[in-house]
Chain A
Amino acid sequence: MMKHLFRRRAEPEEGSMSLLQESWMRLLSNKGAVAGMVFLTILVLTAICADLIYDYETEVIMQDIPSRLQPPSLKGHLLGTDEYGRDLLARLVHGSRMSLVVSFSSVVLALAVGGTLGAMAGYFGGVIDNIIMRLTDVLLAIPMTLFAIVIVAALGANTTNLTLALGASSIPIFARVVRASVLTVRQAEYVEAARSIGAKHGTVILRHILPNCIGPIIVQFTLRIAQAIYNTAALSFLGMGVQPPAPEWGGLLASGRTYIRDYSYLSIIPGLAIMSTILALNLLGDGLRDALDPRLK
């Protein structure tokens, strides 16, 4: 195993592992990436099993005024209760669902649309490039929050619209990142070589250009997810996102704000959750970028 990880240039050996296997091995050798991966796996599993851990109706949204604002303790509520006496841990666990679903799906949407546009702009250049990039410039010129508010206000505040709004605001970012990488990679002789052996445009883009742009795309992907979690929080705070009493990390953070002087745990704990998730995503993203590059063996 180690032999493959530290392969020498001058003495290549018979490669017996597939690209995926090798990437996986490289990913496992990166401590940060493994930590990020473990954290995210636990998080995702918790989100999926949330209903098994805490009952939504009775434990997450049902108010229990007598036990309001109890600080975290090992005996009663592990992470304490909020101003309506709801268990913070239960709300955090259920809130992770909303935060993850909205942020992931909005970024995937943005990557699909923005990535395609950017790849086309970078590869074909000329008029196509100009049209696409001017359109995304228009999107970029509108302040993200304002844009999301407009969409949510016009179409109504629900999860789908929230996802659309957040996704749309990330499209120009992905278009730009992908276009820039495509422009660099397009210059490489192997792209011309692919054309000289008779590859069609689609093959050239999908097989030769995009795989070599993966690094910046992955980094941007993880960064944007972090951004999306944060933006969901901002919108929820403004009342445009997830509607109370449904829990969402940003919403929890926002409502805890009122009590920050005396009950700071109400905002610190959701904040920590958001921060750790973002950190884990970044660690995993960096690790993935390196693991997927065969040159970094």
Chain B
Amino acid sequence: MVIGSQSNNTLEIRDLVVEYRTRERVVHAVNSLSLTVGRGQTLGLVGETGAGKTTTGLAVMGLIPKPAGVVLGGAILLNGEDVLHKSDREMKQIRGKTVSMIFQDPMSSLNPVMSIERQISEAIRAHDRSLTRSQVLQKAHEMLEMVGIPRDRGSEYPHQFSGGMKQRVVIAMALSCKPDLIIADEPTTALDVTIQAQVLGLMKDLKDQYRTSMVMITHDLGIVAETCDSVSVMYAGSIVEHGTLHDVFDDPLHPYTKGLFGSLPRLDDRRAKLQPIKGLMPDPSNLPTGCTFWPRCDHAKDVCRVEKPNPTYFGGEHFVNCHLFNEEISGARTVNMGD
């Protein structure tokens, strides 16, 4: 594979491995993860706490906390350019200009002692020194109005805004330099349902307007259904299933993906008993051998305990990393699953 060959993908991650090393243990946060996000597309990265979703996002931003975090291998291509070997100075230019991240807690990206218009202005000036002060302010106000905040509130400080409004400010900052890619890490988890609906609607509109690509990191399959074009399901640092929204929602194949759907209460039948996945997330410093999901899997076979599964494709981009499918690509794929 030639690095930097394709550029119709905004983001391409190949075999990324990230570890956190402390004195006593090594946490395998991301294990040989690969994914692609096409231009203007939204990819949902779904998984539970500790699956490595946020670490993946931070790796793309070049923000893996050092010195504990180490990128051991793989490649991250933004617009076809490998960013893993960029210097800190180059990464500073890439962040904001090419890729921005929206965090779960808006206060982690806002400075409490700076008015919001100034914060947005600084984000703009960091990448475009040619604008005059008043032009920058003008642009900051435009960004605020775009996310539905009246421009006269621009001189206020973060604490004067509610959670939903703060997240709008963060979105305005993230979009201020028209990045090609936005990584949204659980952007609405801290918000109320009705506010979440507002913010998600806003993000969708803006994304369409700017033709921005997006990685939506979330644990909520409902949000994925609402905002994404394709889905990657993550478990213990790697992707267990990937496909278009229809592939994964209409025909989930991996036992973990099925388990996630089975764990959700059904709105059409409230008495249906939930089908939780047994057991717990594995300790990322002590991952099971073979397929990382086997201790929790109802269909685990002997081979699952010793060998890592390879992806099996089901037409288009839909693939599953599971031994249940490795030998039976030829058709009878639901035999073992017993839905």
Please report A residues at the B interface, Cβ cutoff 8 Å.
6, 8-11
Cα distance A81–B315 when bound, in Å? 95
Query: Is chain A's binding surface mostly helix, strand, loop or mixed?
Result: loop
Chain A: CB-nearest residue to B280: A10
Q: List 12 A-B contacts (CB under 8 A).
A: A6-B24, A8-B283, A8-B285, A8-B286, A9-B283, A10-B280, A10-B281, A10-B282, A10-B283, A10-B286, A11-B283, A11-B286
Per-position contact with A for B241-266: 1 when CB-CB < 8 Å, else 0? 00000000000000000000000000
Chain B: CB-nearest residue to A6: B24
Cα distance A273–B281 when bound, in Å? 54
Cα distance A6–B285 when bound, in Å? 13
CB contacts between A and B, total, < 8 Å? 12
Instruction: Give the residues in chain A near B285, CB-CB below 8 Å.
Output: 8
Instruction: Give the residues in chain B near A6, CB-CB below 8 Å.
Output: 24
Q: Which residues of B270-300 have CB atoms within 8 Å of chain A's CB atoms?
A: 280-283, 285-286
Instruction: Give the residues in chain A near B282, CB-CB below 8 Å.
Output: 10
Instruction: Give the residues in chain B near A9, CB-CB below 8 Å.
Output: 283
The 10 closest A-B pairs by CB, nearest first: A10-B283, A6-B24, A8-B283, A11-B283, A10-B280, A8-B286, A9-B283, A10-B282, A10-B286, A8-B285
Chain B: CB-nearest residue to A9: B283
9 further interface pairs, Cβ-Cβ under 8 Å (given A8-B283, A10-B280, A10-B282): A6-B24, A8-B285, A8-B286, A9-B283, A10-B281, A10-B283, A10-B286, A11-B283, A11-B286
Instruction: Give the residues in chain A near B280, CB-CB below 8 Å.
Output: 10
Instruction: Give the residues in chain A near B281, CB-CB below 8 Å.
Output: 10
Cα distance A9–B285 when bound, in Å? 10
Instruction: Give the residues in chain A near B286, CB-CB below 8 Å.
Output: 8, 10-11
Most central of A6, A9, A10, A11 by chain B CB within 10 Å: A10
Cα distance A6–B280 when bound, in Å? 20
- Tell me how far the C-beta of B40 lies from the nearest C-beta in chain A, rounded to whole angstroms: 40
- Tell me how far the C-beta of B52 lies from the nearest C-beta in chain A, rounded to whole angstroms: 15
Chain B: CB-nearest residue to A11: B283
Chain B: CB-nearest residue to A5: B24
Instruction: Give the residues in chain A near B283, CB-CB below 8 Å.
Output: 8-11
Cα distance A9–B282 when bound, in Å? 10
- Tell me how far the C-beta of B235 lies from the nearest C-beta in chain A, rounded to whole angstroms: 15
Cα distance A10–B296 when bound, in Å? 14
Cα distance A164–B261 when bound, in Å? 69
- Tell me how far the C-beta of A26 lies from the nearest C-beta in chain B, rounded to whole angstroms: 14
Q: Which residues of B195-210 have CB atoms within 8 Å of chain A's CB atoms?
A: none
Cα distance A11–B280 when bound, in Å? 10
Q: Which residues of B12-39 have CB atoms within 8 Å of chain A's CB atoms?
A: 24
Chain B: CB-nearest residue to A8: B283
Instruction: Give the residues in chain B near A8, CB-CB below 8 Å.
Output: 283, 285-286
Instruction: Give the residues in chain B near A11, CB-CB below 8 Å.
Output: 283, 286
